[in-house]
Chains A and B, each alone.
Chain A
Amino acid sequence: MTRQERRNLRSALAFLAPWLIGFAVFMALPIALSFYYSFCDYALTAPSRPPVWIGLANYQQMLHDELFWQSLRVTLAYAAMALPAGMLLSLGLALMLNANIRGQAVYRTIIFLPSLIPAAASAMIWLWMFNSRLGVFNHLLRAVGIGEVNWLGDRAALPSLALMSVWGVGNTVVIYLAGLQDIPRDLLEAAELDGADRFARLIHVTIPVLSPVIFFNLVMAIIGTFSVLTVPYIMTHGGPNNATYFYTMYSYDTAFHFLHMGYASALAWVQLAIVLALTAVAFWSARKWVHYA
């Protein structure tokens, strides 16, 4: 290392010191510990008892754990509804909002606003709207003569939560809008000269150019779906009959209600593995449909 290099390294380390300490204490150490705990029987009791190594037992237990499978089913079913709905709606809205029409700024603001609302507050608002006797949805349904829906009942609860998630697409819409601005105008004009109509331009120009942004949003949505906790925690407590018992809720309950820290850590690692696997699939498929300019 030359003298200059050494000096650079020294000053870089000085600037990075807070982050490096934070990374060690609040990230690397917890990750390592949690990996270790996931192979341990470790109950967080009042006079603390050291973790006991039990090998793969936690992971084996999962195979026969009905709640684990239920929470996984719930999360995947929710993802299957909320993800495509959110992706399609946000892209559609962004395309409409990108057109040069009157009142654009007002539309944009209204669509963006809900994504600002704290999850705890929006859970309360929707809990009240979904209320089967007094909620606004059933009032409206009764008014048009359809009758009542038990929005947070056994069957409808999960779709209801997926519906609610769509309310928060504003963030994604903004990211799409930014991406849409980057589409070279001459590309669209060239396509137009070649006789491509609106739809053809959308399919052959806009979507391919936008594909890295779509991909980014997809990956973020996958990560986000697997950390849903606040809304079902407040609105349904995972019920009825565990119909909305999300994976993260199970991790949380295992850790802080049942105090099985070892099992909770194992659950978290399986969650990370699933998210990484899904992301890897997204990356793999991206080679076919994402075009980097």
Chain B
Amino acid sequence: MPDAARLAPALPPPAIARPKPVWQEPAAPPRARSSAIPIDAVLFHVGLLCVCLAFLLPFVWMLSTSLKTLEGTSEYPPRFVPHPFQPQNYLDVFRHSRFRFATYTRNTLIVAFLTVAGTVVSSSLAAYAFARIPFRGRGVLFVIMLATIMIPFPVTMVSLFRIFRWMDVHTIAWLGRDNPLRMLGTFKPLWLPAWFGQAFSIFLLRQFFMTLPNELSEAARIDGCGEFAIFWRIILPLARPALAVVALFAFMAAWNDFLGPLVYLQLPDQYTLALGLQSFQSQHGGTEWHLLMTASLLVCLPVIVLFFLTQRTFIQGIATTGGK
């Protein structure tokens, strides 16, 4: 696939190594024009305020609904400040008969943790080879790796399912029904592939590893370090910010994933949060909107908190994906 190949050279070396203000810091010295003509600033403020209000509306509506009674959700005209005020929802949502919050959270955390660990370990190994070992066929292999990013999930979805089922048929034949290698109906199909390298993370880490000076490896080599020792003792400690970005993205992807759990999980007991939210929609109509919004807010919360804690790393990471 030539496309990814052409995309790659277009991407200059990454910026994680040389942190530049992308987010918080005020943009260097003010540009003459923009501050000289206040009318521009006023227009920008009006425009941005409108967009921001619109962007905040869903959050406000969710928060407001999550504090209402069921009757309160069908009140007309609606109130943004709930009355009666029912913070009780945040406890009730843990005792819901169909939406098993604690179970779903535990399931999501297991999948997310194993995905993050697998992605970081396997992707940094592969990225090291692509970035720092000159070997024959490296260019071709790297292009193939990039090209896999473009393959839509449906192309592999059906046969992946088939492969996991095939594995099950055989492990059951050898080891019995409840063997630990069972795939379908367990979390394994969701996290196991992460342990075998994730193309996008490999790309990000490779870009970062390339920016580290070669002298570091040379010095270590003279001291008698093997390739793995260089990777483990020199490169990885220096790559912590890039590893954090990869871990963060892997966590978010696992936390937010809907299609994977939808395809592979069978019992409601195994649902992840993203999949479980659907259990508020009853087959017979009559959604408990107040509790659904409470649960949705709680599902969003960890991601938002994580973002605020890691803002700089996070934004730098996204900027890198765009070829910075």
Contacts and interface: CB of A to CB of B under 8 A. Distances in A.
Interface of A: 1, 5, 8-9, 11-19, 21-23, 25-27, 29-31, 33-34, 37, 44, 48, 93, 96-105, 107-108, 110-114, 116-122, 124-126, 128-129, 131, 133-134, 136, 139, 143, 167, 171, 174-179, 181-182, 188, 192, 198, 212-213, 215-217, 219, 223, 226-227, 229-230, 233-234, 248, 251-252, 255-256, 261, 264-265, 267-269, 271-272, 275-276, 279-280, 283, 292
Contact of A139 (B77, B121, B150): B77
Contacts of B47: 96
B288 to A, nearest CB: 11
B48 A96 contact: yes
8 contacts: A19-B122, A93-B48, A111-B52, A134-B73, A139-B78, A178-B322, A255-B157, A265-B159
Contact of B195 (A18, A119, A167, A272): A18
A105 B24 contact: yes
A63 B160 CA distance: 27
B85 interface: no
Given A104-B26, A139-B76, A256-B263, 8 more contacts: A8-B133, A17-B125, A25-B196, A30-B159, A121-B299, A178-B22, A272-B152, A283-B6
A103 B45 CA distance: 9
Contacts of A181: 20-22, 27
A137 B275 CA distance: 26
B96 interface: no
A23 B148 contact: yes
Interface in B266-324: 273-275, 277-278, 280, 289, 292-293, 296, 299-300, 303-304, 307, 315, 318-324
B187 interface: no
Contacts of A107: 48, 52
A15 B125 contact: yes
Contacts of B180: none
A279 B134 CA distance: 31
Contact of B152 (A117, A213, A217, A223): A223
Contacts of B277: 120-121, 124, 234
A196 B77 CA distance: 52
What's the interface size class on B, roughly?
Answer: 35 or more
Contacts of B173: none
A244 B112 CA distance: 31
B275 A8 contact: no
Contacts of B94: none
Given A18-B196, A121-B274, A251 B154 contact: yes
A227 B315 CA distance: 24
A234 B31 CA distance: 47
A96 B135 contact: no
Given A178-B322, A212-B323, A234-B278, A18 B23 contact: no
A19 B162 contact: no
Interface of B: 1, 3, 6-7, 10, 15, 20-24, 26-27, 30-35, 40-41, 44-45, 47-48, 51-52, 55-59, 61-62, 65, 73-74, 76-78, 121-123, 125-126, 128-130, 133-136, 138, 141, 144-145, 148, 150-163, 165, 169, 193, 195-197, 202, 226-228, 231, 252, 255-256, 258-259, 262-263, 273-275, 277-278, 280, 289, 292-293, 296, 299-300, 303-304, 307, 315, 318-324
Contacts of B151: 27, 31, 272
A100 B34 contact: yes
B263 A128 contact: no
B314 to A, nearest CB: 9
Contacts of B34: 99-101
B231 to A, nearest CB: 7
Contact of B292 (A30, A124, A134, A255): A124
B274 A118 contact: yes
Nearest to B317: A174
Contacts of B55: 110-111, 113-114, 167
A206 to B, nearest CB: 12
B18 to A, nearest CB: 12
A19 B262 CA distance: 25
Contacts of B41: 99, 101
Contacts of B48: 93, 96-97, 101, 107
A171 B159 contact: no
B134 A116 contact: no
Given A117-B303, A134-B74, A178 B15 contact: yes
